[in-house]
Amino acid sequence: MNPTSKKRPACHRRPLLYFAASLVVAAPTHQAAAQDKTLESVTVESSRTSQLGVAESANAGLVTQQQLEARTVYRPGETLEAVPGLIVSQHSGEGKANQFYLRGFNLDHGTDLRTTVDGMLVNQRSHAHGQGWTDLNFMIPELVNRLDYRKGPYYAAEGDFASAGTASVVYANKLDKGIASVGFGQNGYRRALLADSPAFGSGNLLYALELFHNDGPYVRPDDYKKVNGVLRYGEGNEANGFNVTAMAYRGKWNATDQIPKRAVDAGLLGRFDAVDPTDGGIAHRYSLSGAWHQTSATGSTNINAYVIHNKLDLYSDFTYFLNDPVNGDQFNQADRRTTAGLNASHTLPTPMFGKESATTVGLQLQNDNIFNGLFSTVARQRLSTTREDHIAESSAGVYLENTTKWADKFKTVAGVRQDFYRFNVNSDNPANSGKVNESIASPKLSMIFGPWAKTEYYFNAGKGFHSNDARGTTITVDPKDPATAADRVPGLVRSKGVEVGARTEIVPGLQSSFSLYRLDFDSELIFAGDAGSTQASRPSRRVGVEFNNYYKATKWLTVDADLAFARARFKDDDLVGNRIPGAVEGVASIALAVDNVGPYFGALQLRYFGPRPLIEDNSVRSNSSTTLNGRIGYRISPKMRIELEGFNLANRQVSAIDYYYPSRLASEPAGSSTADIHFHPIESRSFRITLVSNF
């Protein structure tokens, strides 16, 4: 069941992904059947590796380093748009965590999209701004070796936040060549990167330093400044080896949050104006992590552990003068936390009834020590405290997964995981303090049929969950009005999914997958405009279809074409309606990559982000947006190239995101409120030029 080694096409002159086929057993993101002997390292040199005989569903796969290099990304988080059907957006300029859309979800800043970098969970639980806060500004795209993705709650190794999907970023232990690059562009864009991985002892010492600045097209420049560093020592490979990694990131920015459409229509604001010019933030992230992998005749073991310290001070103003007509509605969300985690798994051969079989047992531990608060502010100066909390959130997940090949054309992957959570909230109001313990079991089943004529078929079913904010599990009174009672929410919310799909390579050079899925949630998380956070809401159901294609058309042209559609509805009856605000309906993209045309190379990416209902009765909807990005490059020498990147090449005046909620501008009558579309514009057309030297 190992991928077949392929000859490297002549057009692939840029660094490629090299990985051992044995990671199919060893890597925690692809738990496959262990062999009854030590697996040998097999080099795969292809722009996209075949998933036939490897993947457990039609919507699991990997994106290679070469594919990632060909993409044009405005900000690091957009690297994840290489996952078919995923939209990565932004509603507050630079610095802030991205907004994610997948499978009919507005995932806000990451809830229900489990994201890891080298096994470290990026989603932050019980975050001051929103559950599952996923800030990828610390990621350096040039260090990404590959991106693994899986969708749906069908995988025993994936726990909290994984119901819509997972994105697992894997950094390289060793760079093919050293990198020195410098980039300049419009709107104050400047970037410098230095990275290499020289031999050191028995392994390699990888280092990277990134300096970055960007203003964006906004009337008040973002003035986003970040310093980013990585230091890693590694030996061996992902089947047998280890690494120890330190990362550090600091960022500071001004923010142009979403603005009311009525103000733009009336000429009071331009598209790139801000209502409150003092919004912005400061963040830092420091981490220390280690990973160890061993594969032998008796199975494979994977262990990774990490400690992360995050800090964020975020200043936002979404409703302007609605709640406080004198000082305005700006608020500060402060979050400081230390997160410790451990992931361990062991896969061993377990032949049953003479059939090839392997079983994986895994343990996942995490503890978050959190200090966060919500404060009313004016121009980033605190006026009053809404609430302050010390949260200790601990979890333990254990899982068991068995892969059995019952026949030459049929295998199953069956698993179950059990998660235990402890929420301990010490609030400044004792009425909102308390301790809650919850647990949840999640069975999983995948059946894989084939391949016949280079085509496989899949059936997947499973249960999953997401955790809610710990503060919601112990709350009894409204922090803004202690005389008003507040409803508690469950700590863990059940999801249930089922999917059928197919994957084929019957057409030479073309890899295609098709799937039809349904996903139910016992409680939906929706964005609250006046609080700038997510709140538990009604039960929901999504039914969707996805069609993904990768085509190696010629030796110099590759094409990615993906299409996804989802129908999202609340399941209960309510007079306000059953549409889910912000739920994405249609997504499409096509990406062309050109190489092997002399010293030139380039790419184009067309992205369609479909309309969304903005209110439950569907009376207000967002418009769709279509954007075009591209790049063209020239190899000056084998070790030097120059690249020109262009963003929003058609200069479309469309939204990156839309919300619908009430607000009040300073010029509007006191005591009034106006429900309106509030939008953040996609950045205007801009260009960046980068000189890259390898050494």
Summarize pLDDT for 157-176 with one digit per residue, the tens.
999 999 999 999 999 999 99
pLDDT tens digit sequence for 495-534: 999 999 999 999 999 999 999 999 999 988 764 544 545 5
**Predicted pLDDT at 42:** 42
Nearest to 58 by CA among 548, 558, 587: 548
d(CA 632, CA 522): 47
Is 1's pLDDT higher than 90? no
pLDDT band of residue 188 (cuts 50, 70, 90) is very high
Q: Is it the case that residue 146 has pLDDT exceeding 60?
A: yes
**What is d(CA 407, CA 171) in angstroms, rounded to the nearest whole number?**
36
Question: Mean pLDDT over residues 382-409, rounded?
Answer: 96
Structure token pair of residue 474: 């112990």
Contact by Cβ (8 Å): 544, 565: yes
Q: Per the domain annotation, does 237 fall within a domain?
A: yes
CB 221, CB 186: distance < 8 Å: no
Confidence of residue 49 (pLDDT cuts 50, 70, 90): confident
Q: Over the chain, what is the mean pLDDT?
A: 91
Q: In this structure, is residue 665 part of a structural domain? A: yes
Q: What pLDDT score does 93 carry?
A: 80
Q: Is residue 9 part of a domain?
A: no
| pLDDT over 90 (residue 43) | no
The band of 214, judged by pLDDT with boundaries at 50, 70 and 90, is very high
Query: Span 118-134, mean pLDDT?
Result: 95
Condensed to tens digits (0 to 9), the pLDDT of residues 415-462 reads 999 999 999 999 999 999 999 999 999 999 999 999 999 999 999 999
Please check the confidence at residue 334 and state whether its pLDDT lies above 90: yes
Residue 37 lies in a domain: yes
User: Does a structural domain hold residue 12?
Assistant: no
* Portion of the chain with pLDDT greater than 90, in percent: 85
Residue 190 main-chain phi, psi, to 5 deg: -145, 135
Cβ distance 200 to 233 under 8 Å? yes
Predicted local distance difference test score (pLDDT) of residue 302: 97
- Which range is least confidently modeled, 31-35, 105-109, 382-386, 646-650? 31-35
Q: What is the mean pLDDT of residues 75-85?
A: 95
pLDDT higher than 70, residue 14 = no
Number of H helices, E strands in the chain: 4, 38
* Average pLDDT over every residue of 101-107: 94
pLDDT band at 481 (very low <50, low <70, confident <90, very high): confident
670-679 mean pLDDT: 95
Compute the half-sphere exposure of residue 484: CA atoms within 13 Å on the CB side of its CA. 5
Residue range of the domain that includes 363? 23-694
- Identify the pLDDT of residue 620: 97
Residue 165 inside a domain? The answer is: yes
Structurally, how many domains does the chain consist of? 1
Q: Considering Cα of 266, then 267, then 268, then 271, what sign does the dihedral take?
A: positive
Q: Give 82's DSSP letter.
A: G
2 located within any domain: no
Pairing of strands 179-185, 120-121: unpaired
User: Does position 23 have pLDDT exceeding 50, yes or no?
Assistant: no
pLDDT at 51 over 50: yes
Tell me whether strands 477-478 and 99-102 are parallel, antiparallel or unpaired: unpaired
What is residue 297's predicted lDDT score, i.e. its pLDDT? 87
CA angle 195, 198, 204 (to 5 degrees): 105
**pLDDT single digits (tens) 525-550:** 764 544 545 567 899 999 999 999 99
Contacts 24+ apart (CB under 8 A), 595-599: 595/11, 595/12, 595/13, 595/14, 595/556, 596/10, 596/11, 596/13, 596/555, 596/556, 597/556, 599/634, 599/635, 599/636
Beta bridge partners of 169: 117, 147
pTM for this one?
0.90
Q: What is the CATH number of the domain that holds 526?
A: 2.40.170.20
The verdict on residue 355 lying in a domain is yes
Q: How confident is the model at residue 26 (pLDDT cuts 50, 70, 90)?
A: very low
Is residue 22 pLDDT above 70, yes or no?
A: no
- Could you identify the residue written with the tokens 């190992």? 2
- Decide if 43 contacts 18 (C-beta within 8 A): yes
What is the token pair recorded at 375? 């404060």
The confidence score (pLDDT) of residue 8 equals 34
H-state helical runs in 134-220 = none
- The answer to whether residue 230 scores a pLDDT higher than 80 is yes
Predicted confidence (pLDDT) per residue in 577-591, tens digit: 999 999 999 999 999
Pair 12, 557: CB distance under 8 Å: no
pLDDT in tens, 277-297: 999 999 999 999 999 999 998
